[in-house]
Amino acid sequence: MPIRRASAVWEGGLRDGKGTMHLGSQAFEGPYSFPSRFEEGVGTNPEELIAAAHAGCFAMALSASLEREGFPPRRVAAEARVHLEMVEGKPTIRRIQLLAEAEVPGIPPEKFQEIAQAAKEGCPVSRALAGVGEISLEARLLP
């Protein structure tokens, strides 16, 4: 299996510094700062990149699981919301919400929920983030 890379450079102090994150594939390079991470400033942040990774991984895992069970999806859309909270005075990722919508012809709603839950638990990023207090899933089957 391939090894994926990303890098970051930070210049200056915590509050007045700035940084840039780079994906090894060169598909993304973006600035980040204290305001973009802990406030509502312009730029990206590590938690947003975790959310992107989790949403992308889960969408692929759900699609693969549905197909494997005989219900190839037309479309799977996922969003991850990473909650950064203060815990004992330290910023901590305590909760991740996965939201998904899927168009899957002919699947019973109960079977869809069962497959979605298993995909959430089996997705490699979910497994990597197992130390997060809670990873919830709200999966909606579209008509």
Summarised one tens digit per residue, pLDDT across range 48-97 is 999 999 999 999 999 999 999 999 999 999 999 999 999 999 999 999 99
Name the nearest CA neighbour of 141 among 109, 98, 119: 109
Nearest to 82 by CA among 129, 128, 122, 118: 129
Structure tokens at 130: 């197992």
Strand 18-23 to 29-33 pairing: antiparallel
State pLDDT tens for residues 92-130: 999 999 999 999 999 999 999 999 999 999 999 999 998
Q: State how far the Cα of 114 lies from the Cα of 110, in Å rounded to an integer.
A: 6
Residue 38 DSSP one-character state: H
DSSP state of 44: B
State pTM to two decimals: 0.91
Residue 77, Cβ neighbours under 10 Å: how many?
14
